Amino acid sequence: MRVAFFHGLESPPVSDKTEWLDKNYEEVYAPAMDYRDPGLFDQVLKEIKDRKIDLLSGSSMGGWFAYCLSTLTGIPTVLFNPAFHSRSFDPNVHLGGRSARHRVVLGKKDDVIDLSITQEWIKKSGIGEFDVRIESNDHRTPLRVFSKHMRGLNENKIVMKQHIKLFEEWLTEGGWATVKTQETVIRPQIIKDAVKKIQVIAAELNAHYRSLQMPELDFTQPIGSGTWYEEDLVSQPDKVYGDVDFMVIYPVIRLTEKSERDDEIATVKLYNREMLDFLEKKRYAFIDVTETRAISSDSSVKFVMEVDTTEGEGWIQVDLVVTHTGYRDWAIFRMTPIRNVKGFVLGNLYSSFGKVLELSIQPRGVRAKFIGTQMVALAKRKDTQEILVSRDINTFMSDIARFFWEQSGKDSPYEESLSRLS
């Protein structure tokens, strides 16, 4: 899970809380916040979209900031003594109208943000669903309270159902980033219709890229459970899918003076910006461009697409899943579940297996983190380098075993291991 945390007005950006988050979350975005900077809010809003943040958290002024961001994005929050009121000054923020789930943790002894006024503010002005918890602390939230509520998220299923597709009642729903798609039940025929429309977009979009002297994108196939839609059309025409994910292979263009990964990210952003502009100009009748732009970013594009259903016309969300030419076969393998097994089940198995070994087993291959020649925990971020262990669908398990065997030998430095795996 990817979390963003915003410190309080007078608090430092690095603290025991951010250290705890680094150890317990997949990715942590915890920037230094100058709340008097009028451009800060828009900058952070762009970052949380680009980073695909799953959860927003903040303390005091940071809690108010996180809440405002949530009303624009629908991302759930965990807020500690948030400054919904009684702020020493008002930072430049924007409020939207999107609902989300908010856990609000209040200190019984807080003499800065009055607990009773906060509860009244939530009743009168709060947007979304609020779960208020009272703790014995004052305005400063101790680590034991912070970790209790941040650790308990998965156990209590507090995270908004739009962002965690483990809620049983949502396995039959199509799309979760916009309410427009939530009434459509996705069956094999709908995926077939979506694929045809994606092929229309792909052909014309690639012609546009060629006119700009940019390499084409390879729109490959649906992934996840939808991989099997053609077989299901024949044998299980009434089968219901959770969502529609479509894999797209992006080239890698040398755009930065940094690492290959930086070039991959920059290439995706370049192509996606051009794609969204193209959709805006083309105005396909079956694409809601306004909704598509609202839930997309230059890091991630989601089509809001009209499809034919047995009840008439409906709308679905199609997530474009990014990979690159060098990862093509591995990514399709990694994202294709066994037929009649939910895609997230296999994904969680890979993730859990990787977590035990401190490896990332994701669409970019099996990877480990190093500082120098020392392998470190995946949660580490500072001064680390990602090393590719394997992306061979036939040998990745034996590659993992060989990798650890070679790491255990004093006379077998990692560089030798890497040369044999490449």
- Among 52, 50, 44, residue whose Cα is nearest residue 1: 52
pLDDT in tens, 237-249: 999 887 799 999 9
* Rounded-to-5 percentages of helix, strand, coil across the chain: 40, 20, 40
Domains of the chain by range and CATH?
A: 2-164 (3.40.50.1820), 181-341 (3.30.460.10), 358-421 (no CATH)
* The pair of three-digit structure tokens given for residue 230, joined into one six-digit string: 């053609």
Look at residue 154 and tell me whether its pLDDT is greater than 90: no
pLDDT tens for 253-302 read 999 988 888 899 999 999 999 999 999 999 999 999 998 988 888 888 99
Judged by DSSP in three states, 361 sits in: strand
Phi first, then psi: what are they for 11, rounded to 5°? -95, 155
Give the per-residue pLDDT at 152. 55
pLDDT at 410 over 80: no
pLDDT number for residue 179: 67
Give percent of the chain above pLDDT 90.
57
Reported as a pLDDT band with limits 50, 70 and 90, residue 164 is very low
Within 126-187, residue ranges assigned H as helices are: 143-151, 153-156
Pair 47, 69: CB distance under 8 Å: no
Structure tokens given for 217: 């994108």
The answer to whether the beta carbons of residues 421 and 403 sit under 8 Å apart is yes
